[in-house]
Amino acid sequence: MSLETLQSFQWGIMAPEFIILAVAALLSLLDLFMPDKMDRKVFGYVGIAAIVAAIAALAGMIDHPVASILDDTFRLDAFSKVFKFILLGGSALVLLLAVSYEPKEGMEESRGEFYYLFLTALLGAMMMASSGDLITLFVGLELLSISSYILAGIKKRNIKSNESAMKYVINGGISTAITLFGMSYVYGLTGTTNLKGIAGQLASLGNPQYAYLLGLAFLMIFIGLAFKLAAAPFHMWAPDVYQGAPTPVTAFLSVVSKSAGFILITRVLLSIFGVTPSNGPGSIPILLHMQDYISFIAGATMIIGNVIALRQTNIKRLFAYSSIAHAGYILVAFASLSFVMFDAIWFYLLAYLFMNLGAFAVIQLVSEKEGSEEISQFAGLYKRSPWLAAAMGILILSLAGFPGTAGFIGKVNIFIGAFTGDNPHYVLASIMIATTVVSYFYYFGILTQIFFRPAAKETKFNIPTGILIVLTICVAATVILGILPNTALDFMHNHTNQFTDFLQ
């Protein structure tokens, strides 16, 4: 490839990625040369500034027509743009939490890494949103994963944190192996890693035997990627890792990493299996045939997450199960494959971003202050700090899906998706309703602690600025998206043109 060809690409469309990459590199160098005694907190603020700049760059390209670099290894389409907003916004809020994170032990030597590893992880996630080639998608996935492994174990001297990183790596390795094995089938059948190329080859697939193999490949890719979503059967790492990891990392895993997982699944499965006929040209695509398997996974995930959450006494473990359950809800949107699928997934991820990160901000504050992550630490929060309690109340109501909050609208979107289309998913929707009711028990358990239990101590909370900003943004967004959901939905409709460029 000549230099002219290289120069002919519109490298400008990668500006957000470049910004993150440059700042991450810069911070890692600075960390090396800066005296040990200097506070690394400033890294966090630089990181936030970089993300804000990346958001601005992305916003500037919002109406940019679809463009690609190097044979689709990087592509900028409507899908990647709107989802990258979620990744960037989530990471910015997580970094704000990280800046306010002051654990009692274990982080003396690794403050610098703590900040820029979030950026490299974010970079990986952004590549996952913006690539049309299996190789780069996989590299993005690994970049995200490996950064996350280190982040989970960043409290070097904390045994829980170590355990969590270890479990995360091992499970991640297994999942990667399965995913790659599935992808190798696809490559073997088509001889290309380019998603468009694959789709083109498979569209004319005549032999049903190949479709059979592709079905197996689908299952393996899907199960492998379920790891990132923390969906069944690859959910079991989540509680242990969430509990052991530093709280901002847990927040990152439950929001940004999960969103990246959904982005990847949607991109890969839709591009490859959404166009491949199952039985000769003209027959229905494989993806529609596999709907029942996705539904099965979605149902199992919702049930497992919500039911086991009932028995948790550790707030981070509880939120791990809650996060499994929410992955199940979003999978319902994916399983129904309706025409509102993108809207529903995007909106739910957006709502989940705010309500979950807000909740984690409170969790971080309370557990750090009390030195314990037991739910009973929330007892009497209303007496001790009414504002904090009110904020947490709103966020939890939203997680539970109460009217007037973003979580409610998110669930309504998914419901509508499940009920429309040629074959409505009544069973799946019923499971979703039933498990949502189950989730009331543990969500309201927290609310009972906050509002109706006497406080063990009377001390008030000093809310650090970072957490205050996160909480304000999250609560405001949760309420606004709940009352005026069209602010977000219109934004998406106006700039995506129905995602028609998804497969172009």
Partner 1 sequence: MMETAWIIPLFPLLSFLILLLFGRRLKEASAFVGILLTLASLVYSILVLFERFTAPTYKSEAAWLNIGDLHLTAGFEVNQLNALMLVIVSLVSCLVHTYSKGYMHGDERIPVFYAYLGLFTFAMQGLVLSPNLLQTYIFWELVGVGSFLLIGFYFYKEEAKAAAKKAFIMTRIGDVGLLIGMILLFWQTNSFEYDEIFKAVREGAISQGWITLTALLIFVGAVGKSGQFPLHTWLPDAMEGPTPVSALIHAATMVAAGVYLVAALFPLFAASKTALLTIAIIGAFTAIFAASIGLVQTDIKRVLAYSTVSQLGYMMLALGSAGYVAGVFHLMTHAFFKALLFLAAGSVIHAVHTQNIEEMGGLWKKLRLTGPLFLIGTLAISGVPLLSGFFSKDEILAAAWEGGHPILFLLAVIAAFFTAFYMFRLFFMVFTGEARSEMKHVHESPGVMTLPMIVLGVLAVISGYVNTPWFGTFLGDWLTKGNDSLGHSHVEGPGWIMIVATLVSLAGIFLAWLIYGKKSLSRDWLSGRGGALHTILYNKYYIDEFYQLTIVSLTKGMSYFLRFIDLFLVEGIVKGVAGFVQGLGKTGSKVQNGQVQTYGAMAFVGLAVLVVIFALTGGYLK
Distance, CA of 219 to CA of 265 (rounded, Å): 12
478 near partner 1 (CB under 8 A):
no
Among candidates 56, 51, 145, which has minimal Cα distance to 96?
Answer: 51
Helix axes 426-452, 291-309, angle to 10 degrees: 20
453 near partner 1 (CB under 8 A):
no
Are 428 and 298 within 8 A, CB to CB?
yes
Q: Which two tokens stand for residue 14?
A: 């990668």
At 220, the amino acid letter reads: M
Distance, CA of 118 to CA of 465 (rounded, Å): 20
26 near partner 1 (CB under 8 A):
no
Helix (H) or strand (E) holding 69: strand 67-69
Q: Rule CB under 8 A: which of 422-441 touch partner 1?
A: 438
368 near partner 1 (CB under 8 A):
no
Three-state DSSP at 68 gives strand
451 near partner 1 (CB under 8 A):
no
Q: How far out from the chain centre does Cα 119 lie?
A: 15
Q: Rule CB under 8 A: which of 245-274 touch partner 1?
A: none
Distance, CA of 322 to CA of 205 (rounded, Å): 41
3-state helix, strand, coil in the chain (%, to 5): 75, 0, 20
Q: Which two tokens stand for residue 48?
A: 């936030």
Q: Which is nearer to partner 1, 41 or 495 (CB)?
A: 495
Distance, CA of 124 to CA of 15 (rounded, Å): 15
Q: Which is nearer to partner 1, 107 or 418 (CB)?
A: 418
Among candidates 93, 110, 104, which has minimal Cα distance to 48?
Answer: 93
339 near partner 1 (CB under 8 A):
yes
482 near partner 1 (CB under 8 A):
no
Distance, CA of 482 to CA of 462 (rounded, Å): 29
Q: Rule CB under 8 A: which of 188-227 touch partner 1?
A: 208, 211-212, 215-216, 219-220, 223, 226-227
The single residue among 311, 456, 459, 494 that binds partner 1, judged by CB under 8 A, is 311
465 near partner 1 (CB under 8 A):
no
Q: Which two tokens stand for residue 69?
A: 């670099």
The single residue among 76, 96, 137, 304 that binds partner 1, judged by CB under 8 A, is 304
Q: How many residues bind partner 1 (CB under 8 A)?
A: 58
Q: Which stretch binds partner 1 (CB under 8 A): 32-40, 100-108, 254-262, 302-310?
A: 302-310
CB of 395 to partner 1, least distance (A): 16
166 near partner 1 (CB under 8 A):
yes
303 near partner 1 (CB under 8 A):
yes
The single residue among 12, 403, 465, 494 that binds partner 1, judged by CB under 8 A, is 403
The residues of the shown chain that bind partner 1, judged by CB under 8 A, are 166-167, 170-171, 174-175, 178, 208, 211-212, 215-216, 219-220, 223, 226-227, 232-234, 236-237, 239-240, 278, 289, 292-293, 296, 303-304, 307-311, 338-340, 343-344, 386-387, 390, 403-404, 409, 412-413, 416, 420, 438, 484-486, 489-490, 493
